[in-house]
Structure formats: structure tokens, C-alpha cells
Amino acid sequence: MRVLMTALVPSHLMPMVPLTWALRAAGHEVLVAGDTDVVRSARAAGLDGRLIGGSGTTRQQQTRPGAVTMVGRGALEQRAESEWAAVGARWRHRLGGYLDDFVALGRAWQPDLVVTDPVEFGGLIVAGALGVPGVVHRYGPDDITGPLLRQAVVQLRDLAREYGSADGFPAPALLVDPSPPSLLPEGEDDPSLLTRYIPYSGTAELPAWAIEPPERPRVLVCLGMWHGRHIAETGTLPPGFRHVLDACAQLGAEAVLPIDAEYHPLLGELPATVRVVDRFPIGPLLRHTAVTVHHGGSGTTMTSFVAGVPQLVLPGDKPFLQTTARLVERSGGGIGLAGEEQQHDPRLVRQALADLLGEEHHRKAARAVGAEIAGLPGPTELVRTLEGLI
């Protein structure tokens, strides 16, 4: 079986990487198609890749943080037809930059199956053009991609037909959701196959400090690309994260801050208890981590739950990040400070961190979610399901 896989951005590819390894181990061929960043990430994961759309400038401009106004599920459901028409025009403009290449690649490589992330609509268009099953693989807790896929049926119908999909924009043959039942958002009723989340966020040569137990409780602080943009634009850490670093020093904890080296000079003076490192896969660090603090990204959230580590979520103003914060708090395995006023209050941030470090019930709840994740069918079982679609 040949599988063509694609993702809009590298962070959407990461949750699919364990599936690609399982496919390869079962004797199947996998090719990852995408822009420069996606192909680079695929190569780092040991996968074959193919660049589509040249430099991918249009796609990168339209998918960078802050490029579009994002709304929550409720607002999506209430959007007027004229608003959706404008969104559809933007989708068509983005797809126009690489869909010719993508369909041509599909016809040349002749996959038996296409696997795509929920918002890389080109994957389903290619599947429809080739007459093969298209599978949508979500990236974690998510309550907005269902409404987006339903609108894609309307907004991209004619475009899909232009490329040979007789029935217009095709519905996925399977929707894969790497979330346990307890983390499914309210109102999320799209039929899906739940599968076990396997953490992957890149690879690294592990230094000694990452393997050996720390002398004091370790707090792993992950900013994500959304707060990375805040640093790039303002030259400062978001206030909530600055308060976390100060609180770690006050509470006798070590803070580890993995962040792109280009941002290091912008961090200013930090407490001596902060270890700043270049971008680093967080999975290996969680063995000796007491608490993770992050922006609400699904990768950090799910990786923390798999390791049974409680979380403090300081989301930005994006609705999907705030959804994650709410789900983490609902599980009991963490605390979410969703409002700007909360995040800007150093006493409130310090108290939340102190509770997570000192209260065992948060860790027990995080471990319970981790056990729930471990009980779901993994990539090997998913491969057998995909084989059954052919």
C-alpha cells in the first residue's frame, strides 16, 4: 500500500509521525507532501518527502500566527453566508498556490490512500481526484475542525470538481482522533475513531542533565509558536510566563525553557534557576518533570498527559488554545488561567504553580488521563484499519 500524507504546518504533522512509522514497519510506502518546513520535518523523522508549490510563500503567509482572525466553535456555527464566502475565497487562494503540483504528484505516485490533517483541505481534494480514500487525522483535542470541514464541502465543491472529484469536496473515509474520551470537547459529535496519542516532537542528542534526576522540582516551560510571536514582536516574554519563571525561583523549583536560539537575546535577565536551551523535544524531559507550563498547544498537552504530568495552561487569545485550557482544568490534571487579567497577576500565577507542585490530586488526575490514553488502540491497530479501507 502506498500512502500519501500531508499537513498544513509541521506541528500538524507531528501527531501523524508514529502512524507513518507503523505503516513503514508493516511494509507500506509513505510519502509526505508539503511546503519546505513540512518536508524538512518529515526528513528529520526519517520519512521521504516531496515539496509542492515551490517555496510555499502563499501558504506560509496565510498560516503564520496572527494571519487570520480565529473564532470559537459557537461563532463558527453562527457565521453568515457572506462571511463563509470570504473564508472560502481565502482557502481557494491558498490552495491555488500548490494544488496543481499536489494533484500532479498524486497522479504520478498513485497512492492507495491519502492521509491529511483536518485543515489541509488539499489532501481530500487530491483523494477525490484520484478516487482513493481520504483519511483525516486530527492533532488532539479540537472543537473547530468539524465545522470547518463541513464548510469546505460548500466552499471548495467547485474547486474539487475542477481537479476531477466528481462528487465535489469529498467527505473523509475515516476521521482519526488521537484524544481519549475525557478530553473530547463539549459539542464535538463528529463520528471518529479514537486512537492512542504517541508523543513525537522531534529528536535530539540528549545531554546528561536531561537524563539525570534534577536536584529540585523541575518545571518545563513551553511557549509554542503563538507566544514565540509575542517575543519576536515585543522583545519580551508574555507576562504570565515571566511570572512563572519568577515563581519557580520563589518556590525552589528549576525552570527549563526550550526556545529557538534566535529568541535567547530577547529574554533579558532571568532568575538563576532558569535553564534556557535551544528548541528541544519535550518528551524525553517529562520523565523528571514535576509540572509543565504551556500555551495550550495540543502536542504539549497530550504529551504531558501521556507522562502523567500536571499542567498549568496560559493560553493566548486563540479560541482553540482556550478550549485546551478548559479541557485540562476539567480533567483535574491541571489548571487553566485563560484570561489576560489572570495571567498578569503574579500572585495568582504563583499560587497555581504552587498548587500543582504540592497537591497530589492533580498528579493523580493527570495519571488517570494517561492511563485512559494508554488503553486506546495504537498505530499498529490503526494501520490494520487503514488497510481495510483499500
pLDDT top residue among 323 and 114? 114
pLDDT top residue among 81 and 85? 85
362: Cβ–Cβ under 8 A, 6 or more apart, which residues?
310, 332, 333, 334, 335, 355, 356
Cα gap 252→268, rounded to integer Å: 21
User: What is the side-by-side strand order in the sheet with 193-194?
Assistant: 48-51, 29-34, 2-6, 113-116, 134-137, 174-177, 193-194
pLDDT top residue among 289 and 269? 289
- Residue 354 reports pLDDT greater than 80: yes
Grouping H, G, I as helix, E, B as strand and the rest as coil, residue 91 is helix
Structure-block grid coordinates of residue 81: 453566508
Nearest residue to 298 (alpha-carbon basis) of 137, 174, 171:
137
Cα gap 33→8, rounded to integer Å: 10
**Percent of the chain at pLDDT above 90?**
74
pLDDT of 51-72, one tens digit each? 998 765 666 555 555 445 555 5
- Residue 368 reports pLDDT greater than 50: yes
Burial (CB count <10 Å: 0-12, 13-18, 19+), residue 384: exposed
pLDDT of 99-128, one tens digit each? 999 999 999 999 999 999 999 999 999 999
- Residue 212 reports pLDDT greater than 50: yes
Cα gap 132→139, rounded to integer Å: 22
Q: Tell me the CA distances in angstroms from 105 to 32, 52, 129, one per residue in order.
A: 11, 8, 12
User: Looking at residue 145, what is its pLDDT?
Assistant: 85
pLDDT of 298-308, one tens digit each? 999 999 999 99
Nearest residue to 157 (alpha-carbon basis) of 119, 121, 131:
121
Q: Tell me the CA distances in angstroms from 211 to 135, 208, 383, one per residue in order.
A: 37, 5, 32
Give, in degrees to the nearest 5, the angle at Cα 302 between 35 and 227: 60
Please state the pTM of the whole predicted model: 0.92
User: Looking at residue 317, what is its pLDDT?
Assistant: 76
- pLDDT band for 143, please (50, 70, 90 cuts): confident
User: Looking at residue 236, what is its pLDDT?
Assistant: 82
Nearest residue to 306 (alpha-carbon basis) of 257, 255, 376, 241:
376
Cα gap 187→209, rounded to integer Å: 43
- Residue 79 reports pLDDT greater than 80: no
CA 119 vs. chain centroid, Å, equals 12
**Percent of the chain at pLDDT above 70?**
91
